[in-house]
Amino acid sequence: MSTAPLFLVDGTDGLPPAGGSTELTGPEGRHAATVKRLRVGEEIQLADGRGGLARAVVEAVGRDSLAVHVVERVTLDPPAPRVVLAQALVKGDRGELAVEMATEAGVDEVLPWRAARCVAKWEAGTRGDKALARWRSTVREAAKQARRPWVPQVGEPVTTGALAGRVGEAACALVLHEGATVGLRELAAAGELPGGGDLLLVVGPEGGITAAEIDELVAAGARPVRLGPEVLRASTAAAVALGALGVLTGRWSI
């Protein structure tokens, strides 16, 4: 049996309590009524993007809205450790592919990173704002597709200096690098992956991370690590790493 579709409820009121009713309107209601073509009696999920999740049943279908009755409501804790992805800017739609796949794989926060070898620059102004908006929209839609009650936050672009500051705040910081001599499995076997707090995962651009950037991040406390014998693209590395971390930590425990 497939999982009931999930729709995001925006606004300060959040999700209604169990036993209550609400109306799904706007783009979400339109999608539910006209694209998904949901019918009375079908079950859906509602989420507030902050861990709140409700199971609801459709009571009535409008032209572009649904009236639903909430059967059950829960608040879920985020996975631990919390994975923060510093994703170097990637040219074209490969950047959106990177954050889409990372969201479906469970990332909790995304930091767009202005690495030295990034072709995409995201300069301040309209073009940079539009690029950031595309990443945020992509993450939101990917969270819905993956039936996630948590929608990852996508922060403002960071420089290498600012990223080094986040390294110092994290419980653990890993830089994916093909030249590293230690793999994720070795770190897990040595008990060096955290059980809680932030695990900062750094993915460089297609042109690679410069030696100066590695030095700065390592000086701040980061550790270079490799996933395996293959060299992955900047758009796929984070998703593969998140899958490995899901298995090697308690993030995927049920």
Distance in Å from the first CA to the final CA of the chain:
19
Predicted confidence (pLDDT) per residue in 140-191, tens digit: 999 999 999 999 999 999 999 999 999 999 999 999 999 999 999 999 999 9
CB 81 within 8 A of CB 248: no
What are residue 44's DSSP bridge partners?
A: 56
The C-alpha atoms of residue 135 and residue 97 are separated, in whole angstroms, by 9
Measured CA to CA, the distance from residue 160 to residue 228 in angstroms comes to 25
Contact present, 132 and 122 (Cβ < 8 Å): yes
Nearest alpha-carbon partner for 108 in 133, 139, 130 = 139
pLDDT tens digits, 220-236: 999 999 988 888 999 99
Q: Can you say whether the dihedral through the CA atoms of 6, 9, 13, 14 is positive or negative?
A: positive
Q: pLDDT digit string (tens) for 237-253?
A: 999 999 999 999 999 87
CA atoms of 249 and 226, how far apart (whole Å) = 17
Its pTM stands at: 0.91
